[in-house]
């Protein structure tokens, strides 16, 4: 029979971080239209189709700003798409606490050779539980740390990084969600390329970027299950860091995704990927010049032409894989 359903996809019910809690809005909407047992899922009109611009209060985009904007949005994407059970800072603290507790229990158990069997069994049981928790988070934390290192390396060697892409999906060429970033530096490129201290400017711009994404409905899509997050950065073809990045000169991604699963007996055939685009512009760059370097939807990947044949895409080798965990039921 004919099907025409309007449904709002609910936000993840767990508590949000302080940065997100005050700004989150349920703006994700999908319309299912068709007939018979299948229907096509299409993004609603509220989906982001243009570039959201953020003007900085600084005269240049420092390495710290670029790094922390990308880094914080990675945490946002993982959390809002239910790839991690809590925000990255909380997971990092939990991981460190588990490691510290395991070492303390190990040290306390060593001199207790003559302790009662019940005490030793209880101690050993707790250590097994902690070790299980450490093992669950170990790979995620190692990958996040490696990605941080890779991002710092490419920003240090290419201080004028102009664009980056975050892709959530099983493959970078067949994404479920895409986040594109453009950095327009103007006439000044920051020289402190090795300083990644989180300044107030970097923290403020990272929060602004997250708020912009939330206002456009980012993170409101259906849960795809544990998947992967890929990072790509545009840099000169002469850039060489084989341990962290692989060149992808002709990189393109498909904007149509198929076979997402079923919902109340209705099969999703496919939907069009609408990338979320954010551009950070330093205040000394006239708007007319910024528009020349703006992101355009006509390009193969939506990041525009930077008038340089020497710039190519580099894919980070460190791919973050989502965790499997129980999703709390919505109250």
Query: What residue segments make up the domains of the chain, in order of their start?
Result: 2-321
Are the CB atoms for 58 and 282 separated by under 8 Å? yes
pLDDT of residue 262: 42
* Distance separating alpha carbons of residues 23 and 150, to the nearest angstrom: 30
Residue 154 in tokens = 């490419």
**Mean pLDDT computed over 245-268:** 68
The band of 285, judged by pLDDT with boundaries at 50, 70 and 90, is low
The band of 123, judged by pLDDT with boundaries at 50, 70 and 90, is confident
* Distance separating alpha carbons of residues 231 and 74, to the nearest angstrom: 9
Strands (DSSP E) contained in the chain are 2-8, 29-35, 38-43, 51-55, 163-169, 177-184, 228-236, 245-248, 256-263, 266-272, 276-281, 311-316, 320-321
Q: At what angle do helices 88-109 and 117-157 cross, to 10 degrees?
A: 140
Check pLDDT > 50 for residue 156.
yes
Contacts of 90 (CB under 8 A, 6+ apart): 17
Contacts of 112 (CB under 8 A, 6+ apart): 119, 120, 123
- What percent of the chain is modeled with pLDDT above 90? 43
Fold of 2-321: Cell Cycle, Spindle Assembly Checkpoint Protein; Chain A (3.30.900)
Do the strands 276-281 and 51-55 form a parallel or antiparallel pair, or are they unpaired?
Answer: parallel
Check pLDDT > 90 for residue 122.
no
Check pLDDT > 60 for residue 304.
no
* Distance separating alpha carbons of residues 160 and 183, to the nearest angstrom: 8
Check pLDDT > 80 for residue 296.
no
3-state secondary structure of 316: strand
- What percent of the chain is modeled with pLDDT above 70? 66
The band of 160, judged by pLDDT with boundaries at 50, 70 and 90, is confident
Mean pLDDT score across all residues of the chain: 75
DSSP percent split of the chain into helix, strand, coil, nearest 5: 30, 25, 40
**Mean pLDDT computed over 63-86:** 93
Number of helices (H), then strands (E), in the chain: 6, 13
pLDDT of residue 187: 62
For residues 254 and 142, the model is more confident at 142
């Amino acid at each position: 029979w004919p099907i025409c359903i309007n449904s709002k996809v609910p936000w993840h019910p767990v508590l949000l971080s302080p940065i997100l809690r005050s700004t989150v809005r349920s703006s994700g909407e999908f319309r299912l239209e068709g007939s018979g047992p299948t229907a096509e899922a299409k993004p609603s009109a509220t989906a982001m189709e243009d570039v959201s611009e953020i003007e900085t209060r600084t005269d240049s985009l420092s390495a710290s700003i670029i790094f922390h904007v990308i880094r914080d949005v990675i945490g946002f994407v993982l959390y809002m798409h239910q790839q991690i059970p809590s925000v990255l800072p909380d997971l990092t603290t939990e991981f460190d606490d588990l490691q510290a507790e395991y070492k303390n229990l190990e040290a306390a158990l060593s001199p207790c050779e003559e302790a009662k069997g019940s005490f030793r069994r209880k101690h050993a049981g707790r250590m097994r539980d902690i070790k299980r928790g450490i093992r669950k988070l170990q790979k995620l934390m190692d990958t996040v740390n490696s990605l941080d290192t890779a991002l710092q390396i490419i920003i240090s060697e290419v201080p004028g990084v102009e664009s980056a892409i975050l892709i959530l999906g099983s493959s970078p060429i067949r994404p479920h969600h895409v986040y594109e970033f453009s950095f327009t530096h103007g006439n000044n490129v920051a020289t402190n390329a090795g300083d990644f201290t989180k300044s107030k400017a970097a923290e403020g711009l990272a929060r602004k970027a997250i708020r912009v994404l939330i206002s456009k409905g980012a993170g409101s899509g259906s849960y795809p299950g544990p998947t992967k997050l890929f990072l790509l950065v545009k840099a000169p073809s002469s850039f060489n860091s084989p341990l962290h990045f692989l060149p992808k000169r002709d990189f393109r991604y498909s904007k149509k995704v198929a076979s997402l699963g079923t919902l109340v007996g209705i099969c999703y055939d496919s939907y069009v990927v609408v990338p979320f685009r954010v551009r950070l512009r330093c205040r000394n760059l006239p708007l007319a010049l910024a528009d020349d370097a703006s992101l355009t939807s006509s390009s193969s990947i939506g990041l525009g032409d930077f008038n340089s044949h020497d710039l190519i895409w580099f894919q980070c080798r460190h791919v973050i894989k989502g965790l499997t965990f129980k999703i709390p039921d919505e109250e």
